[in-house]
Amino acid sequence: MKSALLSGLALLLALAGAAAAPGVAAAPRCGKVPGLAYVNLSEWARANGFAGRWTRTNETVELRKPAARIALTVDSRQIQINGIAVWLFHPVVAQAGAAWLSRLDADLTLQPLLSPPRGSPGARVKTVCLDPGHGGKDPGNQAGANPEKRYTLLLAQEVQKQLARAGLKGVLTRHSDTFLELPARPALAQRKRADLFVSLHFNGAARNPDTVRGAEVFCLTPAGLASTNADRPEAGANTFIGNRNNSRNLFLAYQVQAALVRNLAAEDRGVRRARFAVLRDAAMPAVLIEAGFMSHPVEGRKILTAAYRQQIARAIVEGLLAYKKAVERPA
């Protein structure tokens, strides 16, 4: 009992200590989460070569340097990095005239996107495992007579074709309307020695189907933290195999989301984190793409057309190639 208390205290002290990085002040109890460490955004900006300013006092902040622009909003978890939405773990806080960002977001969200990992052994991208969501007895979302599983397979086949044109090998987790258990999908990726794992899905909105639309890309939530669609860490918020690639997962998700938003002019629902089974078990960098809403009257109709799926595939390949180019640069 006593030792458990002590280790709890040690953890709190360690979290508090993490805020006091050199040159970056800690915020005293500024957020809503007890014990959570924050960094002063303007000091963080200076330390990372950005110029920072309030674009609206106590409401919105902009950090700028020649190659990057970050827009943040107080009390919000959504930021924009070069115009693409990315979800934070914790909202930005305004206190004493300054804006504050959780240290976890500074280290696990901003840092991997601003200085992507590169040039390390194994960073080559040659084979991509494409995972058409659902199949067989699991139809996924159903839009009228059209099951998601049919269109994820058609999209995967199109991405595979376009990858081949770009000189990359695409391997599929299923080639027909068959049921595949979730753990079998990343396992197959590993057997095929895939360098990346990309699970393909289309969304469905039970509420407000006429207005909810757009693209979003998920990567695995780091251990102990809350997923984007949750308020607090879920039960079982542990470390999984996929967490070995936290930085690469996020960077890959960002590149694909950016390409989808720019090429499809799709509504930007942002880069998100979730503990989907296929992401937990993936030994290589992995993302899950929700390329659009089958439930939306306009977007849903487009998803049923080969022409739009070709556009989606082109965007996905462009995102994968952007990732490949960045990680294969010499260190």
Cα of 123 vs its chain's centroid, Å: 19
Q: Which one of 149, 150, 185, 201 is in contact with Zn ion (CB under 5 A)?
A: 201
Kindly report each contact of residues 70-73 with a partner whose C-beta sits within 8 Å and lies 24 or more positions away, as own/partner.
70/110, 72/41, 72/99, 72/101
Q: How far apart are CA 240 and CA 82, in angstroms?
A: 30
Is residue 204 a contact residue for Zn ion (CB under 5 A)? no
CB of 140 vs Zn ion, minimal distance in Å = 4
Residue 233 DSSP class: P
Cα(186)–Cα(317) distance, integer angstroms? 20
- 133 touches Zn ion (CB under 5 A): yes
C-beta of 201 vs 272, nearer to Zn ion: 201
Residue 270 binds Zn ion, judged by CB under 5 A: no
Supply angle C-alpha 6, 107, 245, rounded to 5. Answer: 95
- Beta-bridged to residue 131, according to DSSP, are 199
Binding pattern for the stretch 44-83 against Zn ion, x by CB under 5 A and - elsewhere: ----------------------------------------
Which lies closer to Zn ion via its Cβ, residue 201 or residue 269? 201
The stretch near Zn ion (CB under 5 A) out of 36-44, 162-170, 198-206, 303-311 is 198-206
Q: Kindly state whether residue 140 participates in binding Zn ion, applying the rule CB under 5 A.
A: yes
DSSP bridge partners of 61: 54, 72
Of the chain, the end-to-end C-alpha distance in Å amounts to 48
Q: Which is nearer to Zn ion, 133 or 135 (CB)?
A: 133
Residues 103, 90 contacting (CB under 8 angstroms): no
User: Does 185 interact with Zn ion (rule: CB under 5 A)?
Assistant: no
Min CB(197)–Zn ion separation in Å = 15
Q: What are the residues binding Zn ion (CB under 5 A)?
A: 133, 140, 201
